A and B are shown apart, each in its own frame.
Chain A
Amino acid sequence: MTDQLGALTTIFTEFYYWITVVLMFLIHVGFCVYEVGASRYKHHQHTLMKNTMLIPLVTVTWFFFGWWLYWALPTGPGIAPSIMTESTGLVLGGGFGANELANPTNALMAVNLNDHIMGVFWAAFLLFAWTAASIVSGAVIERITTFAFGILAIAIGSVFWTIDASWGWHFDGWMLKMLGYHDAYASGVIHAVCGGFALGILAVLGPRIGKFSSSGEPRNIGPRNPWLVCVGLFLIYTGFWGFYAACNIPIFDLGPEYGMEGVTFFTATNIYVTPTTLSGITMNFLLSLAGGLLAGYWISKGDPFWTYSGGLAGIIAASAGNDLYHPMQSLIIAGVGTAIAYKLHYWVERKFKIDDAVGAVAVHGYAGVVGLIICGFVLWGYPSSGYGVGSMWVGTDYAPINPLGMFIGAIIMFGVLGFLPGWILAKILHAAGKLRIPRDVELAGLDYNIMEQARKDERAVASSNR
């Protein structure tokens, strides 16, 4: 940094991401609060601990290999050549390669006065990874072992979501080139994949005791503390705002970046380095929140749990194209996505006896998939990258956004990298007898011993006179 503009741009970008990380921390606070509010009293503390411990587990594995995977795999490998290395192999160099920027043994992965961005960018992506694991956490409460959840949290947080991000949420990703995939604020790369992963686990894990009657009719197990659910979801909304900010590059000169000689064009960009404005996406974020809340309230007949969840589902449904939509398009897409997610939740619950305790598969998975498919139609013909425009399936250039590519992208996110790994890992854990807590523990409550010990201590304290 030798000139003032360069220094200002770098330090501003560093501080910008730093702020987004702090804001995104609220997503995790929200998930903790929300899950405790949704669980029954006898499971509160274990529910809280399960969600809390994913923080260190995903953090250390993200440092060891999660971040490296993101930078190493945009080519597949073997599917489409990198624009940096012109090879379809692992991207291990070329300026943005895994070796230089994300190898935990490299000197750049520490305090380095020549690099102000890598650490905060790493942290922003880590917070995305926590979110990924946290989405799964809510669906499986009250009956999964903490051990199994730890394994599954690492799998989704530090492996599978980062693979899909490398493929479809990276300026060099093969899904942009081959399919014309576009997912600016992660309808698919975080939400659909995590919803699919959660559904895969739930199919093996089974429902909570008492969730279904002997004839198979589902019973509602409502949140035990609606106020915590409310506060939790408001915190998630707030953190989601930080998430939106973190998905952008706040200031970038696209003239030289796109090879336009003599042109200077400073703008904010999305993760694909195509232009947008923070101003515009803020409008779209709020209109999609409104669309989701309106639709959630309407379709659930004023149920608070689904109204709040609807707000989240609305944002998720519109997120794929919220860098380019008109605010009214965001509103309508959010409303449609929320309504479909709600209907699918109850249909799947009844048809397949899936007990998704917090509606995570619906809010994140179904709304994310619907958002991707709608985006393919609404943004049909838009370029998926600023680095070039080509045709589908070729791979040497970037295919335009199109419905078929987005539909295939949705299948890859929800099915291939979500449902399938979740189901296989859950099967392995189940076969090892490590997936589900014993029936008697589930009946007594995971917190029984803690509560009994506390009761004894409280009685002893109450009867003490010295």
Chain B
Amino acid sequence: MATVTNWIEHLTTDVDTATEGVQVAGSVYPHVGSELLFVLAGIVFWLVWTFYTAAGEEEEQGKLARKRHGSNDYKNNITEW
């Protein structure tokens, strides 16, 4: 839901500019009042990211470890052109 639908109304609603100066609703982002939900969504994203990337890293390193490469084998994979 749009927090602002008309900038002039948003900047002047219910304000006596002569005595109070300009007072405006400060928040302009969509869905004002849902900040907790936003933060919870961010936390879920962060936790899911942590879980999946950790699992992926473990899987990749497990595969590599099983192949038992030597300490100089990587030199065969350096691109020189």
Q: Which residues in A have some Cβ–Cβ distance to B below 8 Å?
A: 40-42, 222, 224, 254-255, 258-260, 262-265, 274-276, 291, 294, 297-298, 301-302, 324-326, 328-329, 331-332, 335, 378-383, 385-386, 389, 400-401
- Provided the pairs A258-B11, A331-B45, A379-B30 are in contact, do residues A265 and B6 lie with their beta carbons within 8 angstroms? no
Give a binary string over B1-42; 1 marks a CB under 8 Å from any A CB, 0 the rest. Answer: 111111110011000011000101000111100010011011
A224 to B2, CA, bound (A): 47
A331 to B45, CA, bound (A): 9
B53 within 8 A of A: yes
Smallest Cβ distance from B17 to chain A, in angstroms?
A: 5
**Can you list 28 contacts pairing A with B, beta carbon distance less than 8 Å?**
A42-B81, A255-B11, A258-B8, A264-B22, A265-B11, A265-B22, A265-B24, A274-B7, A275-B11, A294-B45, A298-B49, A298-B52, A302-B57, A325-B30, A326-B30, A326-B38, A328-B38, A328-B41, A329-B38, A379-B2, A381-B1, A381-B2, A382-B30, A383-B4, A383-B5, A389-B5, A389-B6, A401-B2
- Chain A residues whose C-beta falls within 8 Å of the C-beta of B24 in the assembled complex: 265
Which residue of A222, A324, A386 contacts B28 across the interface (Cβ within 8 Å)? A324
- Chain B residues whose C-beta falls within 8 Å of the C-beta of A274 in the assembled complex: 7
A378 to B34, CA, bound (A): 13
Q: Which residues in B have some Cβ–Cβ distance to A below 8 Å?
A: 1-8, 11-12, 17-18, 22, 24, 28-31, 35, 38-39, 41-42, 45-46, 49, 52-53, 56-57, 60, 79, 81
Assess whether B49 is in contact with A255, with CB atoms less than 8 Å apart: no
- Provided the pairs A275-B7, A380-B2 are in contact, do residues A224 and B79 lie with their beta carbons within 8 angstroms? yes
Shortest Cβ-Cβ A-B pairs, 6 listed? A381-B2, A328-B38, A386-B7, A326-B29, A328-B42, A382-B2
A222 to B78, CA, bound (A): 11
- Chain B residues whose C-beta falls within 8 Å of the C-beta of A297 in the assembled complex: 53
- Chain B residues whose C-beta falls within 8 Å of the C-beta of A401 in the assembled complex: 2
Smallest Cβ distance from B16 to chain A, in angstroms?
A: 10
Most buried by A among B12, B22, B29, B35: B29
Nearest chain B residue, comparing its CB with the CB of A42: B81
Smallest Cβ distance from A154 to chain B, in angstroms?
A: 33
Smallest Cβ distance from B51 to chain A, in angstroms?
A: 10
- Chain A residues whose C-beta falls within 8 Å of the C-beta of B1 in the assembled complex: 381
A386 to B60, CA, bound (A): 53
Smallest Cβ distance from A262 to chain B, in angstroms?
A: 6
